Amino acid sequence: MEQENQSILQFSSSACPPALGFIPSGRKTCPEKNRTYTDFLIKQENLNQVILTAFFDANEYTNREELFLGLDRTVGELKNANKDIIIILPYPKPHYDVPSSLARLQHKFGSIDNQLIELKKYYADSKQNIEQIRKIAQKHGVALFDPTVTLCDKESCKLHDNYTPNYYDDNHLSSSATDRIAKDLLHQMTIKSSRLGNEG
């Protein structure tokens, strides 16, 4: 980011998606935190771009309708404050511990090359979440970033990149995978900022 003459502020809280008014199971403080974060972002006139992301299929998010209504509120308020918004779409998750699984397979079979997540199955499993996010993005005219562009080819997503795991457990991305996604996301942000600047 320093090379691009940009800086980042991160606001996050475990199992609190950026959804105003939404209360995940067992997370009663989320609405207050999200209100505080959103108000802060709105007041920062020099803060132009906002990236929103969440673990959209988390078990704590039992009321899916309220989750996406809350996300819609957040996007709407930030958009009204003239923020340039990117929502990160869900990424494929294996739902089992990747490093230990790859180690066992390598020890037993001597190869982990065929350990994949089928992209078709991922899209089928995530269809409802993706449709809701796309609907919100279209409503407010905001951009989306799809991590599958980084993690997957046309048919599948590898659990490792040259034998370095892409996940450090059953759903969190590893630092190496996160670095690759960040580079692609920064590229999208830079192009978008350049285009907006030219339009101004």
**pLDDT tens-digit series, residues 188-200:** 887 665 454 444 4
Q: Which two tokens stand for residue 4?
A: 């691009």
Q: Is residue 109 part of a domain?
A: no
Q: Is residue 130 part of a domain?
A: yes
Identify the residue with better confidence: 73 or 110: 73
Q: How many domains does the chain have?
A: 1
What is the C-alpha separation between 15 and 54, in angstroms, rounded?
8
Q: Is residue 143 part of a domain?
A: yes
Q: Is residue 132 part of a domain?
A: yes
| Residue type for position 98 | V
Q: Is residue 107 part of a domain?
A: no
| Residue type for position 127 | K
Q: Is residue 165 part of a domain?
A: no
| Residues of the domain holding 143 | 30-92+125-155+173-199
Q: Which two tokens stand for residue 2?
A: 């320093």
CA 156 and chain centroid, separation? 19
Segment 12-26, tens digit of pLDDT: 888 899 999 999 999
Q: What predicted TM-score, i.e. pTM, was given to this entire model?
A: 0.85
High-pLDDT (> 90) share of the chain, %: 61
Can you give the CATH number for the domain in which 181 is found?
Answer: 3.40.50.1110
Q: Is residue 77 part of a domain?
A: yes
